[in-house]
Amino acid sequence: MPTLIDTITHHWLLCIIAIILIILIARAVFRTAIKLALILLIIGILCLLFVGHSPTDLLKKGTSPMTDPTHFYEHTLQPLLEDQLNHAHYKKEANGDYVISANHLKITGQPKAKTIVIHYKGKAYTIDTKEISNDIKSKIAALTN
C-alpha cells in the first residue's frame, strides 16, 4: 500500500490524466449503448405500427420453419410443388433414383421409398411421402411412369 501512495504522489499528473481518460471512455460507451437502445426501440415501434407485428410475433415467424416442418411444407413447399410440377422434367438415374427438375425446384427419390428430398433455394428438405397431398403424389407418379 505504501508503494501505491508513493507512486500516486510522485506521478499525480499521470494519475489525473488516467482517471479523466477512464471517465471519458466510460461516458462514450454509455452514450453508444443508449443510442443503440433508442435505435432498436424506434425500429421496434415502426415494426409494430406499420407491419402490425409485435417482436414476439417476428421471433415466432423466424423460428417456425425449424419448429414446425409440417406447417412449413403446407404453406411453402406444397404450393410451390403444385405450381412447378406442371412444367417439370423427369430424369431417371442409373441406380434407379429419379430426379424431377423445375425452375426453382428439384425433387429426388426412389420409386418405392417412403421419403423424397426436395431441393429449394439451396436447401434440402426430406419429406415423408405420407405428408404429400394425393394431387402431388399423382403428378410425381405420372412423371415417373
Question: Tens of pLDDT along 16-64?
Answer: 999 999 999 999 999 999 999 999 999 888 877 777 766 677 667 666 5
Measure the CA angle with vertex 44, ends 42 and 45; round to 5°: 65
**What domains appear along the chain, each with residue ranges and CATH number?**
2-61 (no CATH), 68-144 (3.30.1120)
Phi, psi of 117, deg, nearest 5: -115, 125
- Cα pseudo-dihedral 21, 26, 28, 29, rounded to 10: 140
CA-to-CA separations, 100 to 18, 28, 73, 81, 109, in angstroms, rounded: 70, 58, 18, 11, 9
**Cα atoms in the Cβ-side hemisphere of radius 13 Å centred on 72:** 15
| pLDDT, average across residues 11-18 | 87
